[in-house]
Amino acid sequence: MPISRQTKWIYLPWRQLYIRGFDSMAEASSGTVPSGEWFRKGNALLGGGSFTEAVEAYDQAVQESPKDADSWNNRGLALASLNRFSDALRSFEQAGEINPSHPDAWYNRGMVLCALQRFDDAVSSFEKALQINPKNAHAWHNKGVALKHLGLDAEARFAFSCAGWIGIHGQF
């Protein structure tokens, strides 16, 4: 869930404290850090907008635990935030390969494919995300956007209607 502008100031100091504490822990333990901690550091950096550093933390997380779909997914989010869409796509595909039931990996893959203007593939990704979670209004909406780009207006209208029925603003 996105953090509102009014409450963001509350979370930023905690992120900074976590990152400082992480760095101290890594130094004290001679650099040996569990992958879960790299994942949490990546999340703190990603949430704070430090995307390059977040990618570096997620790189460490997937190096230590290559079967962690969440680390691959969040690595993709950080890469997409840097407009490195092809690299992000590979991360989302890795997350989906590790855990085929990871709805965020399929949804995020669809978003990156839209950014790459690969709308046919994006529709397939959104459909996979919707098979896992048919109540994801954002997946319905973005499937509609991709269908619209393909000139499939009737199918796009149906997808937009589904998003509206579910309630796109109350989903997340």
Residue 70 pLDDT > 60: yes
Q: Is residue 37 part of a domain?
A: yes
The rounded Cα 35 to chain-centroid distance in angstroms is: 18
Domain count, the chain: 2
Give the CATH number, domain containing residue 155: 1.25.40.10
Give the Cα separation of 25 and 114 in Å (integer). Answer: 40
Listed residues 42, 68, 99: the one ending a domain:
99
Instruction: Note the pLDDT of residue 34.
Output: 64
pLDDT digits (tens, 9 = 90+) for 138-159: 999 999 999 999 999 999 999 9
Residue with the two structure tokens 């840097």: 82
Task: Find the length of the chain.
Answer: 172
Q: What is the mean pLDDT of the chain?
A: 85
**Do 133 and 81 share a structural domain?**
no
The residue segments making up the domain with residue 122 are 118-172
